[in-house]
């Protein structure tokens, strides 16, 4: 019986940890959203699209971009439309496929993204500053174990 109680307590502790992870994630995300909005009139989804494009100099097809971001093509299309309007990305025809477009950062988009990424990194550093080097290593390792388990389970 004592083992069942211990397992139950551990289960409750894991649930509390999950709720704490969610709360911290939501609070940090809300803070980053507000800072992005006030600093650059930028949303996190647009920043995420620019981040994905920044890693691939030749750009990405819309379907690849939605796959990387794990959102629907429709969601990506709206975000890309706004970035095109703002002059931060452009669509280029894919040779041999009249229906497909490749989305690339414009030179202006690259400059702005590089600026935003540097500031974003400083903000995240500031927001996570209560955790020291050893705590960060432990956190990354433990969260990595969870990721590994979920990737094994979900293939």
For the domain that residue 134 is a member of, what is the CATH number?
Answer: 1.10.10.10
Query: Residue 91: inside a domain, yes or no?
Result: yes
- Closest by CA to 87, choosing from 109, 58, 111, 56, is 109
Q: Average model confidence (pLDDT) for the chain?
A: 93
Number of domains in the chain: 1
Q: 53 lies in which domain range?
A: 41-154
Query: Residue 27: inside a domain, yes or no?
Result: no
Query: Residue 34: inside a domain, yes or no?
Result: no
Check residue 74 and give its pLDDT: 85
Looking at the chain, the whole-number percentage of residues with pLDDT higher than 90 is 81
Query: Residue 80: inside a domain, yes or no?
Result: yes
Q: pTM value?
A: 0.85
Query: Residue 73: inside a domain, yes or no?
Result: yes
DSSP the chain: -HHHHHHHHHHHHHHHHHHHHHHHHHHHHHHHHHHHHHHHS--HHHHHHHHHHHT-TT-EEHHHHHHHHTS-HHHHHHHHHHHHHTTSEEEEEETTEEEEEEEEE-HHHHHHHHHHHHHHHHHHHHHTTTS-HHHHHHHHHHHHHHHHHHHHHH-
- 103 pLDDT band (50/70/90 cuts)? very high
Taking a C-beta distance cutoff of 8 angstroms, is the pair 139, 131 a contact? yes
Query: Residue 130: inside a domain, yes or no?
Result: yes
Can you tell me the mean pLDDT for 11-40?
97
Query: Residue 149: inside a domain, yes or no?
Result: yes
Check residue 3 and give its pLDDT: 60
Query: Residue 11: inside a domain, yes or no?
Result: no
Can you tell me the mean pLDDT for 119-141?
97
């Amino acid at each position: 019986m004592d083992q069942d109680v211990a397992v139950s307590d551990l289960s409750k502790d894991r649930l509390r940890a999950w709720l704490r992870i969610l709360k911290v994630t939501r609070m940090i995300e809300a803070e980053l959203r507000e800072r992005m909005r006030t600093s650059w009139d930028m949303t996190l989804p647009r920043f995420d699209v620019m981040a994905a494009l920044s890693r691939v100099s030749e750009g990405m097809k819309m379907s690849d971009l939605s796959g990387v971001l794990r959102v629907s093509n429709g969601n990506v299309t709206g975000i890309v439309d706004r970035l095109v309007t703002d002059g931060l990305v452009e669509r280029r025809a894919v040779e041999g496929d009249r229906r497909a477009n490749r989305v690339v950062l414009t030179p202006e988009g690259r400059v702005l993204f590089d600026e935003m990424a540097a500031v974003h990194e400083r903000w995240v550093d500031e927001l996570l500053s209560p955790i020291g080097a050893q705590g960060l290593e432990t956190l990354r390792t433990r969260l990595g174990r969870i990721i590994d388990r979920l990737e094994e389970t979900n293939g």
